[in-house]
Amino acid sequence: MKKLGFIGGGNMAEALMAGLLQNRVFAPADLIASDVDAARRSRLKRRLKVATTADNPAVIREARAILLAVKPQNIDEVLVELAGAMGSGGDGDNRAARAIAPKDRLFISIAAGITIARLTAGLGHGARVIRVMPNAPAMVGQGMAAMVRAPGASKADEAFALRIFRAVGDAVALIDEHQLDAVTALSGSGPAYVYLFVKAMSDAGVAEGLDPALAVRMALKTIRGAEENMRRSTMDAAELIRIVASPGGTTEAALRKFAAAGFSDIVAGALHAAADRSRELGRG
């Protein structure tokens, strides 16, 4: 059997497969992916040399662990299909699938906002489920993922899931599923906030007379350098800000403008809105 199957072969699934193969966590023969789009299947087969199919139940039959990489709005129909593939009914074509119980497979979901309760209810009693919130930088090997396992999943299942997501960055296991809404708001949606900030910085640089390409280059390098400095430093953010912001200097003038505009409140409000939307998605 395959060690890992993907239901959905989009960008995140492709990034995960590429990271797993590049880091030799799995070989191409260990993976299988399904997708409704023939072009996506062709790309995965050509680029990664993995098995592909248009048949989601085939992934259930052929892989010990299943990664659900479908959009939240499509999750319910996929769960119905997978539960049917594991059910006791069906015709002769499904005979091989009849013996599969929900506890016989590990299901790892990256569908944003979809709760463990909703996943286990859809897949069937005793399903081994791990809910994960990854983020887009996984596509360049710099992802951040957080996960929570359902009561039916074991510590070994959790360790398996951590191996997958650490192949494309970092990953942590949490106990409280409610924290995943905050994770979604912070790291799941977070890359878009950084892109927005880079755009705002570079646009302002252009308004002050810089060439557009140079402004973007300088903004990106500044953010990367600040991130590396902060990660290596033992000081917290407030201390690092004080080092850069000399009294009466240019940085202090900019920080006062941020404060007057309520920058911290804007960020907090944005994250709260994202977390609320995550909770809404979970309720369906």
- Cα–Cα distance between 284 and 274 in angstroms, integer? 15
Query: Residues 87-139: pLDDT tens digits?
Result: 733 444 444 445 688 889 999 999 988 999 999 999 988 899 999 999 999 98
The number of beta carbons lying within 10 Å of the beta carbon of residue 242 is: 13
Whether residue 154 has pLDDT greater than 50? yes
pLDDT of residue 126: 84
Share of the chain above pLDDT 70, in %: 95
pLDDT of residue 98: 53
Which of 180, 205, 236 is where one domain is finished? 180
pLDDT of residue 88: 39
Q: Which two tokens stand for residue 30?
A: 């260990």
Which of 122, 145, 180 is where one domain is finished? 180
| Mean pLDDT, residues 62-77 taken together | 93
Share of the chain above pLDDT 90, in %: 85
pLDDT of residue 257: 97
| Mean pLDDT, residues 6-26 taken together | 94
Whether residue 141 has pLDDT greater than 50? yes
Which of 128, 145, 180 is where one domain is finished? 180
Say yes or no: 222 and 169 in one domain: no
Say yes or no: 146 and 46 in one domain: yes
Domain count for the chain: 2
Kindly state whether residue 163 falls inside one of the protein's structural domains. yes
Domain limits at 122? 4-180
Chain centroid to Cα 171, Å, comes to 10
- Segments of the chain assigned E as strands: 4-7, 31-34, 51-53, 65-68, 106-109, 128-133, 143-149, 169-173
| Mean pLDDT, residues 170-194 taken together | 95
Say yes or no: 114 and 76 in one domain: yes
Q: Which residue has the higher pLDDT, 31 or 99?
A: 31
Kindly state whether residue 185 falls inside one of the protein's structural domains. no
pLDDT category of residue 86 using cuts at 50, 70 and 90: confident
Q: What are the beta bridge partners of residue 4?
A: 31
DSSP code at position 143:
E
Q: What's the whole-number average pLDDT of the chain?
A: 92
For residue 185, which amino acid is it? A
